[in-house]
Structure 1
Amino acid sequence: MKVLYLIDTLEGYGAEKSLVEITSGCTEIVPVFVHIYQGDLLKPRLEHAGIKVYSLDLNQKYAFNKALEKLIPIYLREKPDIIHATLFRSEIIARKLKQKFPNICLIGSFVSNAYSSERLRRKNLLDKLKLQFFFNLDRRTVKYVDYFISNSHTIKDRTCEALRIDSQKVEVIYRGRSSSKFDPKTNLEKFPYLNNHNTILLNVSRLIPLKGQEDLLEALPEIIKRFGNVSLIFAGHGAYREFLEEKARFLKVEPHVHFLGRVDNINKLLLHANIFLYPSYSEGLPGALIEAMMAERIIICSNIPENLECVDSNSAIIYKKGNVSELSTAIIKVLNNPEKYRYLGENARKQAIKKFELGKRIVDYQDFYKRIKGKPKNKKFRILHLIQKPQNRGAETFACQLANHQINLGNEVKIVSIFKGNSTLPWHDDINYLQTSSTLRLVDVQGWKKLNKIIRDFKPDVVQANAGDTLKYAVFSKKIFRWKTPIIFRNASEVGKYLNNHLQRKLNDFLYQNVDQVISVSRTSRNDIITNFPILKNKTIAIPVGIENRKKIISEELQPSGYRHIIHVGGFTFEKNHEVLVRIFEKILKKHENVHLHLLGDGPLKKNIEKLVKQQSLQKNISFYGYVNDPLPYIKAADVLVLPSIIEGLPGVILESMYCKTPVVAFNVGGMAEIVGKETGHLIPPNNEEAFVYAVRQILKGDNSEIISNAYNMVETKYLNRKIAERFQEAYNFHF
């Protein structure tokens, strides 16, 4: 797939820099760049990465029609699948191109809070009139854009409101940075032009009024009175530099202030800084702030929403925008005892790696492009779902729920089960059985033959193998009986955790060579299967599980009455880690006597856990329910859902708990981090039982309303099955 990136210039500003870093790491698309106006600082980096760059080099400020004239031959020559425009002038030119070529798939970008009141407040009358003109042009032509990528939720919400854009057309993908480039353990060398013995206060940003550098200068005299060996460093350039230099002279702080201009090796400069200062009044998603987080710096920043989407009170000192007194007090507080605030930098790096690691963002971009490419135009499919057996397991339940929604989308769907099972699945039609024996899994010629007959009769467009042994049956049947239907494998876990020997790896390698696509349940599962089987690199995408939309869930009355209730829902298998759960619960009991643990589920290890509970004399404190057909009333009645699993894909029970407005505590395994974070729950490092206990206690005694609201809204927005089914539809259409 070829993506043509249209951008104003290739100077080293935030939007350009981020796009260059992301595209340089793309392996599943062919990027081509066109920069319209003069300024090509980043061009050599793109060319070094093997990316073609066209330089139109216009020297006028706008010249939209002239740019269009030069762009059309490039578009016709390159024939891109997608055009992705970034920054206002390029966006307008791209929309003009779309008017001439309506079949273009056009993506726009939200990279700044372009129409904020703060930005407008600082303009003179002429500039305000000019901004209003361009705002009207933007709103009038935005209809030509098919999709948008926003670099933050804050910018998405504000821009959608300002331009009246349907938020469903907007995908939020954060800017990425490579954590390895900002490793705080790197040996420091002396940085040129600095007094390397001074305490360094660093600001990295363009020198413009909105970035708040004047506030830093006004805070500096008070700081110098207390700490004479302080240097305030500005790394960046812009039209505001002359004003700031004059301001430094006026305040008599000039010897302590250094303007470095544009700095290429920002990572090295950051590692020299003692405190990173970010006093902005308005931002997009601040890349410099993310870099400071990656570098594990102590951060002091303004409380604008764009900054708060990156850091919180556990990773930065946050002060009220424009409050110079509060800013100087914060700096002095850190300088008095920097070790006391070292933990903020450590937390900031952890948060940055989780949210902004470059490799993850590259995957997000490529997945988004693949998802929208050739979006289905009412294309209908015949879909055959292959399941292990009717059992109370997430893979089978989700396959049936998905199948129901696929029928609602106009598809024809059949479900085939390899083995017999006793459970009732949420499927509104008959299930076909191969009626085979589980002892014949690798030599079941009769089973493969029966599957061949079903496929010949049904003539599906797609065979989807949903976890378990389903892929073995699909591949062996196809190889022996030579049917041609594409096979999709639904990867519902982390396969690398189950590879115990060389023979197993060789078998899986053979199976994966014969699939047409893998749809993984999470990005973590996707990365795991690609790491273990690189042949799948260009065949694998991530689509999560979803849950059903239910109008009303009536809470179960959990006993004992008056107690706080902890719930776990899951099969009794080694992956679910019930032994550790019992141990965690014992520790919780020491602080909370009136608390009860409810275990919903069945499985081979249930008797072992019942025996353990009896040995620990916990029978009055722990209840076993066996399999429960509808766990949601129980989850809704509980105070907290816990999931201390050692292996997961992306567990639907977490989404169900969020939908029931019950807080979640889980170990950070599999795709957990993709749905559970500080804003939506409590994510605990694997095997850290003490942290798990602490998190549960915090929920039992605290106010969880904000987390509950965030989690519920996330599920409502992204994880309802009807929306997930549309993503499967897009995947089928793209590949088949």
Structure 2
Amino acid sequence: MKRLKILHAIRQGQIGGGESHVLDLVEHLNPFMYESIVLSFTDGPMIKALNVMGIKSYVIYTEKAFSINVWNQVKEVIKREEIDIVHAHGTRALSNVFSSAKYLNIPLIYTVHGWSFHPDQSVIERNLKQRIEKFLTNKCDRVICVSKSNQSDGIERFDLSRSRVIYNAISATKYNYDLQHNNIRNELNIPEDIFLLGYIVRFTNQKDPFTLIHAFNKVVSKYDKVKLLMVGEGDLKIPSVELVKDLNLSDKVIFETFRTDVPAILKAIDVYCLPSLWEGFPIGILEAMAMKVPVVATPVDGNKELINNHITGELFPIKDPKALADIIISLIENPKKRELLSQNAQKYVLENFRVEDQVEKVGDVYQELIVKQSNNIKYASK
């Protein structure tokens, strides 16, 4: 039986939630049934990771949505590789592959890793993004939402009758608390008696690093033996470094660039913080929970579907550094509470968000589309 060729299109080569999702998919899809090829619109660590995995990849550079000048190049990749299904991950990627897929009559899937419209936009910008999403989803044969919140938001605004929810998931093999990991505290000279907060995510407006830094400043005013480890890159990294300097926190905050040893970093920290303004279904929270790290996050979109407040994690209002600081202080003062949160969270994630189950559901979508296309061809030939 011929293997189906799947072209996974993603916006960038940096590794964030969507890129981690793609890496998990191509690693775990049945190699006897599927051949995965990845198309990224910028280079970066994800491409290097794919090379190590032996997965073919293409980089067609653009940082623009609806970048018409790359559409012919995308079309050539689809034709050259004899692609059976195009699977776009995220709005930007979809905007740059839908035309080629439709022109070549190739089934098109869109995984929504959070909509491009969100509350932190002007009314004009939000309405424009909603129109764009409506246009793009209408071009797709199937839409996969990574959270029920995302699906509900889409249904309210446009037709999503061809959609289903398939939650993000994690590899329990990789995010295994019981494995031996490099000692990050030794590497970064962080004593064991230091309470270590972790922020392991892109430095962007969506992820709101400023609220965490201001909250941490309030924590430091009460406790001396605390540090904040901030790992990642993004357009707000330099402003974050400047804010830390302005608040005289430079000896308390450690900045690290993008790293691939996330399980080791998670094992080193005491609390994982994600002060996002909006989300799809954050893989970072899943990873932290699997590694028995208490999570403090905002009650947005997929976060509130994943975190049962006070049971599998702690939720605080967006852009509220005092509320965040109060929760962190309570966790510093109550190690039994931290232990209970971490145990509940790990059990919940390992029982409900296995990457093998996620990949099987995505494979079901592929099979449905191929059967549908085959039936359409047979009908048309009569």
Question: Is TM-score (shorter-chain normalized) higher than 0.5?
Answer: yes
Equivalent position to 1:462, from 85, 94, 102:
85
Comparing 467-476 and 641-650, the one that deviates more: 467-476
- Equivalents in 2 of 1:419, 1:566: separation in Å? 31
1:101-120 alignment, distance < 5 Å? none
What is the CA distance between 1:591 and its match in structure 2?
A: 2.2
- Equivalents in 1 of 2:238, 2:290: separation in Å? 31
Q: In structure 2, what is the equivalent of residue 353 of structure 1?
A: none
Mark the CA change 1:419 to 1:559 in structure 2 (over 3 Å): closer, same or farther: closer
- Equivalents in 1 of 2:269, 2:132: separation in Å? 43
- Equivalents in 1 of 2:57, 2:268: separation in Å? 37
Equivalent position to 1:412, from 16, 32, 35:
35
Does residue 109 of structure 2 align to residue 488 of structure 1?
yes
Corresponding residue pairs, total: 353
Q: In structure 2, what is the equivalent of residue 563 of structure 1?
A: 194
Equivalent position to 1:596, from 221, 224, 227:
227
1:176-187 alignment, distance < 5 Å? none
Amino acid at match of 1:449: N
Conserved? CA contact 1:491–1:520, under 8 Å: yes
Task: Give 5+ residue unaligned stretches, structure 1.
Answer: 1-377
Higher relative contact order, structure no. (Cα contacts within 8 Å, ≥ 6 residues apart): 2
Helix, strand or coil at the partner of 1:633: helix
Does residue 200 of structure 2 align to residue 585 of structure 1?
no
1:218-617 alignment, distance < 5 Å? 381-408=4-31, 410-421=33-44, 424-427=47-50, 428-433=53-58, 435-438=60-63, 441-445=65-69, 447-479=70-102, 482-497=103-118, 500=125, 503-532=128-157, 534-536=158-160, 538-548=161-171, 549-550=173-174, 551=176, 552-554=179-181, 555-557=183-185, 559-561=189-191, 562-617=193-248
Conserved? CA contact 2:6–2:34, under 8 Å: yes
Helix, strand or coil at the partner of 1:469: helix
Over the aligned positions, Cα root-mean-square deviation in angstroms equals 2.3
Task: Give 5+ residue unaligned stretches, structure 2.
Answer: 371-382
Deviations 1:570-596 (A, max 9, x none): 111111111111111111122222111
What is the CA distance between 1:459 and its match in structure 2?
A: 3.2
What is the CA distance between 1:553 and its match in structure 2?
A: 4.4
Amino acid at match of 2:194: Y
Conserved? CA contact 1:396–1:425, under 8 Å: no
Normalised to the residue count of structure 1, the TM-score between the two structures is 0.46
Helix, strand or coil at the partner of 1:544: coil
- Equivalents in 2 of 1:434, 1:661: separation in Å? 36
Mark the CA change 1:398 to 1:553 in structure 2 (over 3 Å): closer, same or farther: farther
Conserved? CA contact 1:400–1:425, under 8 Å: no
Q: In structure 2, what is the equivalent of residue 681 of structure 1?
A: 313
- Equivalents in 2 of 1:448, 1:486: separation in Å? 16
Mark the CA change 1:560 to 1:501 in structure 2 (over 3 Å): closer, same or farther: closer
Q: In structure 1, what is the equivalent of residue 375 of structure 2?
A: none
Does residue 250 of structure 2 align to residue 619 of structure 1?
yes
Conserved? CA contact 1:496–1:529, under 8 Å: no
Conserved? CA contact 1:640–1:662, under 8 Å: yes
What is the CA distance between 1:733 and its match in structure 2?
A: 2.9
What is the CA distance between 1:606 and its match in structure 2?
A: 0.8
Deviations 1:507-537 (A, max 9, x none): 33322211111111111111122223x222x
Deviations 1:5-27 (A, max 9, x none): xxxxxxxxxxxxxxxxxxxxxxx
Amino acid at match of 2:257: G
The runs of 4+ residues in structure 1 deviating greater than 6 Å are: none
What is the CA distance between 1:391 and its match in structure 2?
A: 1.1
- Equivalents in 1 of 2:216, 2:19: separation in Å? 30
- Equivalents in 2 of 1:673, 1:470: separation in Å? 27
Q: In structure 2, what is the equivalent of residue 302 of structure 1?
A: none
What is the CA distance between 1:698 and its match in structure 2?
A: 2.1
What is the CA distance between 1:614 and its match in structure 2?
A: 0.5
Deviations 1:379-421 (A, max 9, x none): 9633211122311222122112211111446322111223334
Helix, strand or coil at the partner of 1:412: strand
- Equivalents in 1 of 2:145, 2:96: separation in Å? 19
Equivalent position to 2:295, from 652, 664, 672:
664
Conserved? CA contact 2:14–2:43, under 8 Å: no
Helix, strand or coil at the partner of 1:512: helix
Amino acid at match of 2:357: K
What is the CA distance between 1:453 and its match in structure 2?
A: 2.5
Deviations 1:261-283 (A, max 9, x none): xxxxxxxxxxxxxxxxxxxxxxx
Percent of aligned pairs with the same amino acid: 25
Amino acid at match of 1:435: I
Q: In structure 2, what is the equivalent of residue 699 of structure 1?
A: 331
Conserved? CA contact 2:86–2:101, under 8 Å: no
Normalised to the residue count of structure 2, the TM-score between the two structures is 0.85
Amino acid at match of 1:493: G
Conserved? CA contact 2:47–2:57, under 8 Å: no
Equivalent position to 1:631, from 255, 262, 274:
262
Helix, strand or coil at the partner of 1:453: helix
What is the CA distance between 1:709 and its match in structure 2?
A: 1.6
Does residue 339 of structure 2 align to residue 711 of structure 1?
no
- Equivalents in 1 of 2:218, 2:355: separation in Å? 37
Amino acid at match of 2:140: V
Amino acid at match of 1:401: D
Deviations 1:199-242 (A, max 9, x none): xxxxxxxxxxxxxxxxxxxxxxxxxxxxxxxxxxxxxxxxxxxx
- Equivalents in 2 of 1:405, 1:735: separation in Å? 20
